[in-house]
Structure 1
Amino acid sequence: MKLRTRSALKAASLAAAGLMLAGCGLSSGSSVPLAVEPGIIQPVPELEGQTITVGSKNFTEQLVLGYLGEFALSAAGADVRDLSSIQGSSTARKALTSDQIDVLFDYTGTSWISYNGNNDPIPDARAQFEAVRKQDLERNGVAWTAVDYQVDNTYAFAVNQDAAKRLGVQNLSDIQRIVTERPQDATFCVDTEFASRNDGLPGVEQTYGFKTNPDNVKVLTEGAIYQATADGTCTFGEVFTTDGRIEALNLKVLADDKQFFPRYNVGVTLRDEMLKRYPQLTQVFQPISERLTNEELMKLNAQVDVQGRDPADVARDWMAEQGLIKIPGQS
């Protein structure tokens, strides 16, 4: 299904706007798409009337997370600007560090590998976060808050059920055998970033001891990979572990038995001076962190990608169900 017109048009226009970040910059975005009232998240006097711009990257989960942040800030009394669907992780991070957005939900593994150039992930989630928090603050002036250890949206490879049975694959270590013994089945679908990132395909190849045939690697958009894997267009498809399409398409996720992929716990990133000016922001975002799990986020993502709902509607409904906000006109 297609997303509703509001979401589709907004995503297209803001994706184009995101490209401007590398050049002349962009405006502060549009208004929050839906109204909310305070619930568990109550008005914060220090934030009353303060303009705060929330950004997100241009994939489903990021859109949902961005709207969760926007509605939380709205309930707290801030004047929120919406700058969602920025194209690419590095572009979104640049928007944050260059003062074009103030809040970005991000992932500890992305910061550790992509933004800060480390090669070796830290398997323990809390140790990984502490290393990211310290390095990002010292190097980039970026502060992390409201980190959610219950959400780990790391990379994985998935196969359809037929391939799992036919090839006998359970773990990423099994890929080496397929590449060697059944090269015709060693086909991969990945997106552009994963094809070149240290924490993507090159790192998987090095860690698990195989080399892909470039002719057997298809670079697709992130959304197209899931269906291509389900259809057998490729044997191994790059997926995110919180994506609702994994369950909807009955895909099997291969175990990362050598623990290559970093932890991708979700947290709120802000410029350090912003968090120091408004330390109350932690109490605004913390209730989201306390309630959001991998299972919950997978369900929210599925409502967008499988059911075709608007990410803003999905985010607001979940926050209302959790009691974090109230929807005007509903008791």
Structure 2
Amino acid sequence: MAGLLLSGCGLNSGSSLPLAVEPGIIQPVPELEGQTITVGSKNFTEQLVLAYLGEFALAAAGANVRDLSSIQGSSTARNALTSDQIDVLWDYTGTSWISYNGNNDPIPDARAQFEAVQKQDLERNGVAWTAVDYQVDNTYAFAVNKDAAKRLGVRTNSDIARVVAERPEEATFCVETEFASRNDGLPGVEQTYGFKADPSKVKVLTEGPIYQATAQGTCTFGEVFTTDGRIQSLDLQVLADDKQFFPRYNVGVTLRDEMLKRYPQLTQVFQPISERLTNEELMKLNAQVDVEGRDPADVARDWMAEQGLVKIPGQS
């Protein structure tokens, strides 16, 4: 089912699940007993946490789980799914709508966005969505530190245009490589909100340093993800997307359609996670990794056990 890899892609066959679990609310599923299922993820904290949540759920259901997390880049991870290198990938509706399917206009309503993504992904790519979580929306945002918010009087993305026009020396940005060029990133924000950032004042950084640079005032406006635990730990203020530019990025499980048809029971395995996971809960889990330095697998298993979804061997 999984493990046949394309040469030269940089992926390997995956490793075994690092921690053991026993069934809890998630019970063994006879159809999955002993079946090898490979779970992949992109290479940032939230994706690692989500991958392990899914892996522990599958293990409790009786599957033989292979871990192929931390794939670099959204497109590479999606290609790994469609080329049978992985079987399960937690993904985001907005990413599929904009990046994978090439749509330019996001759909503000979360359910309508999901339904459109579900239809297009199935028809165009043979990818099925299940266990979509409307309580989690990890969309883009701009954040500022509290000093900048007070000094510049910024609360919304519309205020960025005012700062660019009236105080250009303060209009500095820290963004990721993808965000700097994606049409659901900085170029789209500039068009929607009517400003043009000075290229010399746009710093392209990796995800982690952006939060610290924004907190320290190295840049005024930092690109963040709304479920990132560092927003709270660094006391950043998220600006409101008052023109609703950013797409909804609700999280859900993606699989090849033939996989879900073969094992429709996978929906009942993943659904209890989606029913319990919220933006606030996910932000706490992310913070345990990024702020406290805990391992994503430990964080995921502890949460699953706290929710009663699985049990940790040896614990009552």
TM-score higher than 0.5: yes
Aligned 8 A contact 1:159 1:254 in 2: yes
Q: Which one-letter code corresponds to 2:279 in the other structure?
A: N
Q: Which one-letter code corresponds to 2:309 in the other structure?
A: L
CA distance in 1, matches of 2:119, 2:7: 27
- What percentage of residue pairs aligned between the two structures are identical? 90
The 5 A counterparts of 1:1-331 are 23-24=8-9, 26-331=11-316
CA distance in 2, matches of 1:22, 1:296: 38
Q: How many residues align?
A: 312
Gaps of 5+ in 2: none
- SS, match of residue 281 in structure 2: helix
> Relative to 1, partners in 2 of residues 1:25 and 1:305: Cα closer, same or farther, differing over 3 Å?
closer
Gaps of 5+ in 1: 1-19
Q: CA deviation at 1:22?
A: 8.1
CA distance in 1, matches of 2:10, 2:145: 42
Q: CA deviation at 1:23?
A: 3.0
For the aligned residues, what is the CA RMSD?
A: 1.0
CA distance in 2, matches of 1:190, 1:77: 42
CA distance in 2, matches of 1:140, 1:298: 31
CA distance in 2, matches of 1:194, 1:105: 20
TM-score normalised according to structure 2 size: 0.97
CA distance in 2, matches of 1:24, 1:311: 25
CA distance in 2, matches of 1:70, 1:193: 28
CA distance in 2, matches of 1:233, 1:23: 39
> Relative to 1, partners in 2 of residues 1:162 and 1:25: Cα closer, same or farther, differing over 3 Å?
closer
TM-score normalised according to structure 1 size: 0.93
Runs (4 or more) in structure 1 with deviation over 4 Å come to: none
Q: CA deviation at 1:74?
A: 0.3
> Relative to 1, partners in 2 of residues 1:24 and 1:245: Cα closer, same or farther, differing over 3 Å?
closer
Q: CA deviation at 1:26?
A: 3.2
Q: CA deviation at 1:66?
A: 0.3
Over residues 41-89 of structure 1, what are the superposed CA-to-partner deviations in whole Å (9 max), with x where a residue is unaligned?
0000000000000000000000000000000000000000000000010
Q: Which one-letter code corresponds to 1:221 in the other structure?
A: T
Q: Which one-letter code corresponds to 2:77 in the other structure?
A: A
Q: CA deviation at 1:21?
A: 6.4
> Relative to 1, partners in 2 of residues 1:22 and 1:165: Cα closer, same or farther, differing over 3 Å?
farther
- SS, match of residue 143 in structure 1: strand
